[in-house]
Amino acid sequence: MIYPKTVYIHTIGCQMNVYDSERIAGGLMPLGYRQISEPESADLVILNTCAIREKAEQKVFSFLGRMAGLKRKNPELLIGVGGCVAQQEGRKILDRAPYLDVVFGTHAVSRLPALIHQVETTGGRLVDVALSNTIQESPADTISVNPDQISRFVTIMQGCDNYCTYCVVPHVRGREMSRSPDRILSEIKTLAESGIREVTLLGQNVNSYGTKEGLCDFSELLTRVNGIDGLLRIRFTTSHPKDLSDDLITCFNRLDKLCRHIHLPVQSGSTRILSRMNRKYTRDTYLDKIDRLRSACPDIAITTDIIVGFPGETSVDFEKTLSLIRQVSYDGLFAFMYSDRPNAPAARFSEKISEAEKAERLQQVLGLQEILTLEKNQSLIHSVQTVLVEGVSPRMHASEVGHEAVPQWYGRTPGHKIIHFPEPERLSTTGNIGRLKKIHIEKAFSHSLWGRPVSQEE
Ligand code: SAH
Ligand code: SF4
Ligand code: F3S
């Protein structure tokens, strides 16, 4: 196949957007587009957008401003905007950005090639933000893998039915819908045959996979994915704490490829705030799930998301978040300042917290977690960890860590921690990347670990 045209895809937002961008790249190949990594010489630029917080939206318009400059130089350039801001704003984006050619929503990814073809042949400016109540699959033959990729995301369900009061996702991704297990399994088999060693199964609430449609449940799906030859590791995100089942907890011991890591967003440590967020669990029921996870699987890594400054969050509520973080002692967390989303009910809640107070609370959460992460990392010194090797560290030189001048490789533990390790080039000629390697940990930093390989085994 010859690819006479080039597409540059810029992705903002969560892993689901990364997955959709990969589908976009694959879907445009039959039209003759090959993906490039800079927009300057592209024939087509696609921006895949996120609406989760205000900042994500601002990024959209600053990026589009840059693309307008490119279009002035090359009037043939086509520009498309997809993803969650496209879904939310629809035609309004075309009005605001007169140089745009296509706006496509979150359910229109599989229709994008037809939209682009139409613009190429008949011209015009198109908008497709229709939400459907069935999953819009892309043709199976449009899956493409870069030779240097070992890890991929696979969306197993789309949308969300939970309606947390702060969240835009149900409004821009539609109702929760699960993909058929057969499609998911055949996609992962294709990826594994093309050299992918790790998949992360994606959904806003993977624990409710298949329930509405009466498909197999999430534990059953994981069990089937675990049986795929060539695949070494399985991850998933996100589990909603209200639906975390004992059945899933047993999977961490039962399935050899499933990484012992769970991302379990708590959002707040105050039951009062959790109720205003419509999270449908309390501080105590959340902590009970953490106990059950740790008693079944003591070495499991647990990470979370925190929102600071939700409307009505008092300093007492915020102290409860800090105390919960200390009590759970997370391996890592993402913390966000609450941001009003026009479609979400919390935008109309009173008792808004000032930006300065939110920023102060954010710093406290991040500062606390920095200490906890370093302590966790230090506790791993002298242990042996298995990494999936991802590549040679681009920035880390042997001299920086005070060791011999051999290449420094890196990979991740099942708990998603990055480990750097030295290995002479001659030992790596058989292809280190994509292999599991045991590393004896010698040093711990706040964002990574350093150790030496203990054996060459798979
Ligand atoms: N489905 C996942 C999260 C998806 S959004 C879950 O339920 O956990 C990712 C994270 O963004 C959320 O966990 C939350 O911490 C954050 N977030 C979502 N809406 C937000 C808002 N309006 N302001 C600030 N952070 C928000
Ligand atoms: Fe948003 Fe809540 Fe759904 Fe997560 S579970 S996507 S936070 S509505
Ligand atoms: Fe953003 Fe949409 Fe994901 S709002 S976080 S890209 S689902």
Please list the pLDDT of the chain residue by residue as tens digits (458 residues). 788 999 999 999 999 999 999 999 999 999 999 999 999 999 999 999 999 998 878 888 889 999 999 999 999 999 999 999 999 999 999 998 999 999 999 999 999 999 999 999 998 899 999 999 888 887 776 788 887 889 999 999 999 999 999 999 999 999 999 999 999 999 999 999 999 999 999 999 999 999 999 999 999 999 999 999 999 999 999 999 999 999 999 999 999 999 999 999 999 999 999 999 999 999 999 999 999 999 999 999 999 999 999 999 999 999 999 999 999 999 999 999 999 999 899 999 999 999 999 999 999 999 999 999 999 999 999 999 999 999 888 765 554 555 556 788 999 999 999 999 988 765 555 578 899 999 999 999 999 999 999 965 44
Contacts of 218 (CB under 8 A, 6+ apart): 206, 207, 208, 209, 210, 236, 248
Specify the residue with its C-alpha closest to ligand 1, atom 10. 305
Ligand 2: residue of 15, 52, 167, 263 to mutate (most ligand atoms within 8 A of CB) is: 167
Which tokens is 309 given? 């400054």
Q: Report residue 60 as tokens.
A: 């959209």
The minimum-distance atom of ligand 3 relative to the CA of 52 is 4
* Ligand 3, atom 1, residue with closest C-alpha: 50
Domain ranges of the chain: 5-128, 148-259, 265-376, 384-453
Rounded to the nearest whole angstrom, what is the distance from the C-alpha of residue 319 to the centroid of ligand 2?
A: 24
Q: How far is the CA of 169 from the centre of ligand 2 (A)?
A: 6
Q: Is any ligand 3 atom within 6 A of the Cβ of residue 150?
A: no
Which pLDDT belongs to residue 30?
A: 92
Is the distance from the beta carbon of residue 203 to the nearest atom of ligand 3 less than 6 Å?
Answer: no
Q: Do the beta carbons of residue 393 and residue 409 sit within 8 Å? A: yes
The confidence score (pLDDT) of residue 6 equals 96
Is the beta carbon of 143 within 6 A of some atom in ligand 3?
no
What's the 137 CA to ligand 2 centre distance in angstroms? 23
Report the Cα 440 to chain-centroid distance in Å: 29
Instruction: Give the ligand with the smallest distance to the CA of 160.
Output: 2
The residue whose CA is least distant from atom 2 of ligand 2 is 164
| Cα–Cα distance, 17 to 78 (Å, whole number) | 20
Q: What is the pLDDT of residue 158?
A: 94
Question: For the stretch 267-285, what's the b/e string if a residue is b when 16 or more beta carbons lie within 10 angstroms of its beta carbon?
Answer: bbbbbbbbebbebebbbee
Decide: 204 in ligand 1 pocket, CB within 6 A: yes
In CATH terms, are 5-128 and 265-376 the same topology? no
Within 6 A (CB) of ligand 2 lie: 160, 162-164, 167, 169-170, 204-205, 240
- Residue 59 has a pLDDT of 85
Evaluate: CB of 168 within 6 angstroms of ligand 3: yes
Supply the pTM of this predicted model. 0.94
pLDDT of residue 458: 42
What would the CATH number be for the domain defined by 265-376?
3.30.750.200
What distance in angstroms lies between residue 445's CA and the mean position of ligand 1's atoms?
A: 28
Chain-centroid distance of CA 437 in Å reads 25
For the CA of 343, the nearest ligand: 1
Q: Classify burial at 402, counting beta carbons within 10 Å of its beta carbon; exposed 0-12, middle 13-18, buried 19 or more.
A: exposed
Atom of ligand 3 nearest to the CA of 85: 4
Q: Domain 148-259 belongs to what topology?
A: Transcription Regulator spoIIAA (3.30.750)
H/E/C letters for each residue in the chain? CCCCEEEEEEECCCHHHHHHHHHHHHHHHHHCEEEECCCCCCCEEEEEECCCCHHHHHHHHHHHHHHHHHHHHCCCCEEEEEHHHHHHHCHHHHHHCCCCCEEECCCCHHHHHHHHHHHHHHCCCEEECCCCCCCCCCCHHHCCCCCCCCEEEEECEECCCCCCCCCCHHHHHCCCEECCHHHHHHHHHHHHHCCCCEEEEECCCHHHCCCCCCCCCHHHHHHHHHCCCCCCEEEEECCCHHHCCHHHHHHHHHCCCECCEEECCCECCCHHHHHHCCCCCCHHHHHHHHHHHHHHCCCCEEEEEEEECCCCCCHHHHHHHHHHHHHHCCCEEEEEECCCCCCCHHHHCCCCCCHHHHHHHHHHHHHHHHHHHHHHHHCCCCCEEEEEEEEECCCCCHHHHCCCCCCEEEEECCCCCEEEEECCHHHHCCCCCCCEEEEEEEEECCCCEEEEECCCCC
Mutate to test the pocket of ligand 1, among 15, 167, 171, 240 (most ligand atoms within 8 A of CB): 167
Superfamily the domain 5-128 falls into? Methylthiotransferase, N-terminal domain (3.40.50.12160)
Ligand 2 center–CA 204 separation, angstroms? 6
Q: How far is it, in rounded angstroms, from Cα 345 to Cα 349?
A: 7
Residue type, 78: L
- Say yes or no: CB of residue 78 within 6 Å of ligand 3: no
Contact 420, 410 (CB under 8 A): yes
Residue 271: the pLDDT is 98
Measure the CA–CA gap between 151 and 4, rounded to whole angstroms: 28
